[in-house]
Structures are given as structure tokens and as C-alpha cells.
Amino acid sequence: KHSCKLLVVGGGSGGCAVAAKFAKNMKKDEIIVVDPADMHYYQPMFTMIGGGIKKLKDAGRKMGDVLPKNAKWLKDSVTEFNPKNNQIQTKSGDIINYDYMLVGVGLQLNYDKIPGVLEGLSMKNSGVCSNYSPKYVDRTYEALQQFESGNAIFTFPNSPVKCPGAPQKVMYISEHYFRKMGKRDKANVIYNTSLPVLFGVKKYADALWKIVKERNINVNLRTNLIEVRPSEKVAVFENLDKPEQKTTMEYSMLHVTPPMSTPDVLRTCKDLVNDAGYVDVDKDTLRSTKFGNVFAIGDCGNSPNSKTAASVAAQSQIVFKNMQAVMNGQDPKSVYDGYASCPLVTGYGSCILAEFDYNLTPTETFPISQDREMFIMYMMKKDFMPPLYWHMMLNGYWNGPGLMRSVMHLGMK
Ligand code: FAD
Ligand code: UQ1
């Protein structure tokens, strides 16, 4: 049995960043972070690993090395939330009482929801790969190297996902890889997405449509992967507008973005979540709509922003300030504008940096129109972001580029 002032559930991007902010002026026994993971992964690097640009070992650090020293880490997983009693239970049977709780458990990858995918991902040389998990990300570059000819299919599932640009970034990198290796004329590159659009923000969608047309990539909208038969190298898709209409496609390479949901333990706590299983929060303050001493950060909350680490960075300061206000008996006043950012890597050496808010209005940091492929944005994604993440964000010093943006745009409006 434990008790603490602040309980942080999940030591991922959001949990770690906010715990670090609080740890600067609280006592060690006042903060507990619960997370069962050995490793903390910088998931945005997975796209680069799939393309053979980075190594998996560069994307992970030991959880104990990134969590704030001035907080207590319980290496355990929460198995039950009981917000009415300000209490949670863990797998090893501990009960923790808290005054305030921050939920940052992220999303669960449901590969098992599509028959045949896990089998394909565990078979050698099956061509099935997935950047989304550290368990499978290395398979992507292997599949690229082994590819000789045929269909290279990239999927986007029928559920919300983290980093909605990532399912197509891997495709652009792959297409470029085939060109570099002189295999492009033998490859049929296909993007099968459940969404009705290529990207949710028109400005960037227009730019991406131009790219897929120029590069002869076939895009099928409202097309959802429902089965894989790895022994036959065949994938089955449904047309989401006419569910009786199923299409079977052969593949040489199949990149699967799995359906996602919040973790089961959260989804089943009806007190905390909405019907879709996400923590029900006020979209401005990120405070639970049901429990005044509970907040959520990142992918597991129901604020209608795009789920990215960049959003988490912007949210971290809002959550920190609002939780502090509530701890001091005041109203939470900081407002999150829904900022999200997605560096759409479009090949080896090019990237479109999408940035936007709740209204899907572009909120670009740099005083140039960002709907173009740029080398500098690629370098930023590859070389500038990782140290920013490890050294600044996880230590509570990076609140997103909002301030940078104001400075960059000084006198320009
Ligand atoms: P996470 O960082 O996922 O952390 C969740 C934590 O909760 C984990 O440590 C987990 O162990 C823990 N947890 C889970 N269940 C429990 C439990 N029951 N008890 C205790 N702890 C638990 N974002 C960008 O901004 N730019 C990008 O270019 C980008 N690219 C991406 C590419 C890929 C392939 C992927 C997978 C993601 C990408 N993202 C990108 C998204 C970004 O990584 C996430 O949005 C971000 O990490 C979310 O942070 P979080 O704190 O909500 O969750
Ligand atoms: C960002 O803040 C962030 O979080 C650390 C990312 O995740 C890796 C990003 O990809 C991006 C683009 C941002 C936004 C930062 C700038 C400087 C525009």
C-alpha cells in the first residue's frame, strides 16, 4: 500500500515530461510514476528505423534513466482504476492512494484484431512488417532489402492511430528506396487507407496528392485490411462504404498499421472514459470531466487533436499549470489549442512539416509556407528532434514550438 500527492500512470512521452516538471519542486515521496516497461522508446524514430536511416538501439533508453530522479518509479502496471476512491491497483497487488492523478497510458496496438497479421509478423521473410512496434520495426528495412518485384502495400486501419502521417511516411521512403535500387519499375506501390482522405488538413493533403500522382502511387480510400494469409502472400480488404465488397490482393511487401485503442484497463473503467474508451477530458484544460483531481495527457485522452509527441509537448505545460492551479485551490486557466505536428517524411532527404490545431488550421512555426518538401525539415526530423526529445522534453523543458513560432513571426503579420 502506497500513497502520494501526485500519481502519474504511464512514463511515456507525456507522463515523463509532466512528472519531470513537478519533480523540480516536490519531494521525492510525493510523486509516484507507475509503468511496467523496461524501456522508454522515442517512437517518432521508428519511421527512420524502418527506412534503414536509424537503428532501434538509438530509439530506446532504460525507463529508469529517463524518469525524473526526484520521483518514485514503481515498475508495475495498473490493473484497475478506482477514481471514486482516489485509488488504483497494480498487477503485483499494490494499492496506491493519490490526491491527484495524471493518466498517460498511451495507445495499445491491436495486431490481433486482424487475422493472420501476427502470424505474418512472426514468419521469416514473409514480407509482412510494421513500423509501429519496437518488436517488428526492424522487419520493414529487411522487407525493403528483400523486395524484388510485385505489390508493396501500405495500410491505415479503421481506428484512430497515433501519428496519422506515419502509415504513409513509410510508403514514401519505400518508394524512394525502390527507385534508388533500380527496382521501381517492378514495384506496384499501393496505399490502402480506411480514411476518406489522404490527410486531414487540406493544405497538406493537396501537397501529398501531388506527390502520390507524380510518383505513380495507387491510393485507395475507405479500404480496410481485414485479413492476411501469409502462406499465400495474400491480403483481404473491405470497402468501408460497401462492406459486402471484399478485395483480395497479392503482396510481396505488406506494411501493417495496426488498429489501436486505449489499453484495456482504461477502456473498461467506464467512470473515466467516453464511449470510445478515451479518458473524457475538457479539451481546453485537459482535466477529467468527471473527477476534478484527474487529468489526462497524450494519446489516451479524448481531446480531438491529432495524436503526436508534438501535441504531448504542447499539452505538457497546459496540464502542469492546470494541475498546479487545482492543487492550489484555483480554477485551471491554461488552454490547449489542439496543436499537433507531423513531419511527413517523403523520401530520403525530404519532408513536409505539417503543423495545425483543433480547427485543422495550419499553425506553422517557420515564416515560410510549409506545404513543400524540404531538406531542412528532414534534417530537423532526423537530427534535431531526437536530442530535443531526450534532453529537453523528457526533462520538462520543451513545451512545443508555440513560443518559437511567435518569435519567428514577429512583425510578419
Ligand atoms: P506513450 O509515449 O506511448 O507512453 C505510454 C506509456 O504508458 C508507456 O510507457 C506504457 O508502458 C505505459 N502504460 C501502458 N499501460 C499501462 C498500465 N496499465 N499501467 C502503467 N503504465 C502503462 N509523434 C510526433 O510528434 N512526430 C512523429 O513524427 C511521430 N511519429 C511516430 C511514428 C510511429 C511509428 C509511432 C508509433 C508514433 C509516432 N509519433 C510521432 C507519436 C508519438 O510517439 C506518440 O503520440 C506519443 O509518444 C504519445 O505519448 P503518450 O505519453 O501519450 O504515450
Ligand atoms: C515537436 O515538438 C515534437 O515533439 C518533441 C515532435 O516529435 C518528435 C515533432 O516531430 C515536431 C515537429 C515538433 C515541433 C517542433 C518544431 C521545432 C516545429
Does 269 qualify as catalytic in the annotation? no
Check if 360 has its Cβ closer than 6 Å to any atom of ligand 2: no
> Is the pLDDT score of 210 beyond 80?
yes
The predicted-structure confidence for 39-67, as pLDDT tens digits, reads as follows 999 999 999 999 999 999 999 999 999 99
Give pLDDT tens digits for 145-202: 999 999 999 999 999 999 999 999 999 999 999 999 999 999 999 999 999 999 999 9
Mean pLDDT for the chain? 97
38 Cβ contact partners less than 8 Å away, ≥ 6 residues apart: 62, 63
CA dihedral 289, 290, 296, 300 (to 10 degrees): -90
Q: What pLDDT, on the 0 to 100 scale, is given for residue 412? A: 65
Q: Is 163 a catalytic residue?
A: yes
Strands 128-129 and 253-255: parallel
What's the pLDDT band for 214 if we cut at 50, 70, 90? very high
Give me the pLDDT at residue 249, please: 98
Q: Whose CA is nearest to atom 17 of ligand 2?
A: 401
Q: Which three cell numbers stand for residue 385?
A: 528532434
260-261 and 87-90 strand pairing: unpaired
DSSP code at position 258: P
Residues with CB under 6 A from ligand 1: 9-15, 34-37, 43-44, 46-47, 77-78, 104-106, 131-132, 162-163, 166, 263, 265, 298-300, 307-310, 312, 341-343
Distance of CA 63 to the CA centre of its chain: 18
Query: In a mutational test of the pocket of ligand 1, which residue from 46, 168, 308 has the highest number of ligand atoms less than 8 Å from its CB?
Result: 308
Q: Does the CB atom of residue 44 touch ligand 2 within 6 A?
A: yes
For every residue of 5-70, DSSP letters joined together read: EEEEE--SHHHHHHHHHHHTTS-GGGEEEE---SEEE-GGGHHHHHTTSS-HHHHEEEHHHHS-TT
d(CA 110, CA 334): 34
Q: What is the C-alpha separation between 402 and 87, in angstroms, rounded?
A: 35
Q: Hey, what domains does the chain have and what are their CATH numbers?
A: 2-107+262-337 (3.50.50.60), 110-260 (3.50.50.60), 340-386+402-408 (no CATH)
**Predicted local confidence at residue 270, as pLDDT:** 95
Q: What is the pLDDT of residue 1?
A: 85
Interface TM-score (ipTM) > 0.95: yes
pLDDT of residue 66: 98
Torsion sign, CA atoms 363, 366, 370, 374: negative
Q: Tell me, in angstroms, the distance from the centre of ligand 2 to residue 261's CA.
A: 23
Contact 201, 364 (CB under 8 A): no
Give the Cα separation of 292 and 333 in Å (integer).
14
pLDDT digits (tens, 9 = 90+) for 279-335: 999 999 999 999 999 999 999 999 999 999 999 999 999 999 999 999 999 999 999
Q: Choose the catalytic residue: 4, 163, 300, 351.
A: 163
Using the predicted structure, report yes or no on whether residue 411 has a pLDDT greater than 80. no
Average pLDDT over residues 20-32: 96
**CA nearest 314: which of 298, 294, 331?**
298
- Average pLDDT, stretch 84-96? 98
Which of 45, 341, 353, when mutated, tests ligand 2's pocket best, judged by the most ligand atoms within 8 Å of its CB? 341
163 Cβ closer than 6 Å to some ligand 2 atom: no
β-bridge mates for residue 239, sequence order: 223, 242
Q: How many angstroms separate the alpha carbon of residue 52 from the centre of ligand 1?
A: 21
